[in-house]
């Protein structure tokens, strides 16, 4: 198996979540009420799965190893675009959290912002995924030997193995900060 296999599997789950989020946002738009659990779950999924787990493997393993190669100008450009898009996704997700929090505090004007930001995210990720799947992953694999690909795949599995511990160490840290 090539290292792009797990990354593309992750894309399929992200796409399914985006469809579900879109359906929830449609309901929010019609009802004019935000179910904050929907937003909280979507944010957790985007932050922990799409960004930290998926983008983490891309940035900390795949892109790191590609940076050591003599890439074509086109692949260098696409890799930089992908990195920039990851940053945009993080900022937009943070803005969604901010809007959610203001909404919970009683600012009804944030309803439109929540809908807008969620729609930006659900519109962004399919284009981002298509760019990776169709224009980046396959050509970049040509730069790696079979041994390098096997090593990268092993690093991906180790990265995934550590994620649950990283998440719940952060949960514990936040839990200990709670005051009553």
The CATH number of whichever domain residue 25 belongs to comes to 1.20.120.520
Give the separation between CA 91 and CA 97, rounded to whole angstroms.
10
Domain count, the chain: 1
Residues in the chain: 180
**DSSP per position, 95-126:** HHHHHHHHHHTT-TTHHHHHHHHHHHHHHHHH
The tens-digit pLDDT sequence of the chain (180 residues) is 899 999 999 999 999 999 999 999 999 999 999 999 999 999 999 999 999 999 999 999 999 999 999 999 999 999 999 999 999 999 999 999 999 999 999 999 999 999 999 999 999 999 999 999 999 999 999 999 999 999 999 999 999 998 888 888 887 888 888 766
Phi-psi region of 32 (alpha: psi -120 to 50; beta: other; left: phi over 0): left
H-run or E-run covering 23 = helix 4-31
Give the separation between CA 51 and CA 76, rounded to whole angstroms.
21
Domain that holds residue 53: 4-177
């Amino acid at each position: 198996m090539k290292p792009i296999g797990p990354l593309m599997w992750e894309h399929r789950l992200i796409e399914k979540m985006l469809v579900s989020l879109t359906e929830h946002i449609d309901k929010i738009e019609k009802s004019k009420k935000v179910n904050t659990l929907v937003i909280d779950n979507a944010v957790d999924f985007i932050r922990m799965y799409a960004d930290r787990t998926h983008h983490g493997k891309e940035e900390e393993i795949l892109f790191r190893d590609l940076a050591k190669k003599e890439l074509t100008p086109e692949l260098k450009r696409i890799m930089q675009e992908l990195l920039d898009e990851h940053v945009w996704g993080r900022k937009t997700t943070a803005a969604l959290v901010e809007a959610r929090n203001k909404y919970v505090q009683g600012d009804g004007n944030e309803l439109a912002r929540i809908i807008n930001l969620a729609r930006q995210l659900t519109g962004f990720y399919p284009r981002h995924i298509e760019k990776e799947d169709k224009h980046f992953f396959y050509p970049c694999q040509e730069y790696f030997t079979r041994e390098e690909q096997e090593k990268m795949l092993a690093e991906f599995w180790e990265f995934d193995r550590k994620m649950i511990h990283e998440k719940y160490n952060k949960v514990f840290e936040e839990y200990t900060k709670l005051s009553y």
